[in-house]
């Protein structure tokens, strides 16, 4: 079976990535449009933002999967010929990398933990492509920022490079403009 088209969209915060990805996914020849959301309501502002996004997507015909970690758990909910949007890698990575923060045992500090999550992520993305006709993946470009968390930036760079290498199209958003990189 031919895998679905993979489009990787990155850019700065509030650069128009999500809106652009939504437009692309809505235009895909699919039976259903699916939104995989990675956000977690850790404060009132984020809770309000998530609630607003849920409402907006429901009114716009999206079928939403809330999956802040373990992207593989969304796989059984993806149907053949769906068009899928995953928003976003950077949020998912923070959720996975810093899992266990409250207990003082971060995945980032546990040998092999992120390597296992990485393998699961790559397998899941390939599996979604086998089902979906179109798969858009959104991520923030934070690698130009001053080095704050070496582990986070190292993993994000690895994920971005892998996605760009596998993608049919890689797009960078800047000030609402889509710049095709691949």
**How confident is the model over 88-128, as pLDDT tens digits?**
999 999 999 988 777 788 999 999 999 999 999 999 999 99
pTM of the model: 0.91
- C-alpha dist (Å) from residue 40 to 61, 105, 110, 115, 119: 22, 19, 22, 23, 23
Is 87 annotated to bind a ligand? Reply is: yes
Q: Does the structure show a pLDDT above 70 at 146?
A: no
What span, in angstroms and rounded, lies between the C-alpha atoms of 88 and 71?
Answer: 11
Tens-digit pLDDT profile for residues 150-180: 899 999 999 999 999 999 999 999 999 999 9
Give the three-class secondary structure for 137.
Answer: strand
Is 17 annotated to bind a ligand? Reply is: yes
Q: Which domains does the chain have, with CATH numbers?
A: 5-180 (3.40.50.300)
Residues catalogued as catalytic: 53
């Amino acid at each position: 079976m031919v895998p679905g088209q993979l489009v990787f969209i990155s850019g700065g915060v509030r650069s128009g990535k999500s809106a652009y990805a939504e437009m692309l996914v809505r235009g895909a020849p699919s039976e259903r449009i699916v939104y995989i959301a990675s956000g977690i309501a850790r404060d009132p502002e984020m809770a309000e933002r998530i609630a607003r996004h849920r409402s907006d997507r429901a009114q716009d015909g999206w079928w939403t999967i809330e999956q802040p970690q373990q992207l593989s758990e969304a796989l059984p909910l993806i149907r053949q010929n769906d068009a899928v949007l995953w928003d976003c890698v950077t949020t998912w990575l923070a959720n996975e990398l810093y899992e266990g923060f409250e207990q003082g045992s971060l995945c980032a500090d546990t040998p092999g933990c992120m390597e296992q999550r990485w393998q699961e992520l790559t397998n899941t993305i390939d599996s979604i492509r086998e089902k979906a006709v179109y798969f858009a993946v959104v991520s923030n470009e934070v690698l130009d920022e001053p080095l704050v968390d070496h582990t986070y930036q190292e993993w994000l760079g690895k994920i971005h490079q892998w996605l760009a290498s596998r993608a049919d199209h890689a797009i960078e958003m800047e000030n609402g403009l889509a710049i095709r990189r691949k």
